[in-house]
Amino acid sequence: MRILLADDQPKVRLGLRLLMEQEQDMTVVAETGDSGSLLAQVEETRPDLMLLDWSLQDSAAAEQLAVFRQVCPQVAIIVLSAQPEVEAAALATGADAFVSKADPPEKLLAAIRAVAD
């Protein structure tokens, strides 16, 4: 599975990449810390799945998610956030799943595999 990481915190992206590298069926194909290059990276790398930080720098996440649903409907999107209260909004806007940044890594891996099936 080809994964794009979109989070404005480099340490979070590093942790996610290290987690993905331990999984034989997951490959990180791109990373970004801002919304400006996100659509171009999706079009260039054609990921199967995007891990999208709800609070991505320079981004209105709900609007961004709606655009991705129209432009790249085949890309699964899991929203990550340190604010669990945004889960309903993320799912209502088109996210395939929501994972809190406070959740254990196993929950994220389970969500990735669930949306991939």
Mean pLDDT, the chain, as a whole number? 91
User: Is residue 113 assigned to a domain?
Assistant: no
Domain total of the chain: 1
Encode pLDDT of 52-104 as tens digits.
999 876 567 777 788 888 888 999 999 999 999 999 999 998 999 999 999 99
d(CA 40, CA 29): 13
Contacts of the segment 92-98: beta carbons below 8 A, 24+ positions apart? 93/61, 93/62, 93/65, 93/66, 93/69, 94/65, 94/66, 94/68, 94/69, 95/52, 95/65
User: Is residue 57 assigned to a domain?
Assistant: yes
Structure tokens at 46: 């054609």
Structure tokens at 113: 């595999």
CATH code of residue 9? 3.40.50.2300
User: Is residue 64 assigned to a domain?
Assistant: yes
| Full domain range(s) for residue 33 | 2-104
User: Is residue 41 assigned to a domain?
Assistant: yes
Q: Which amino acid is it at 45? A: T
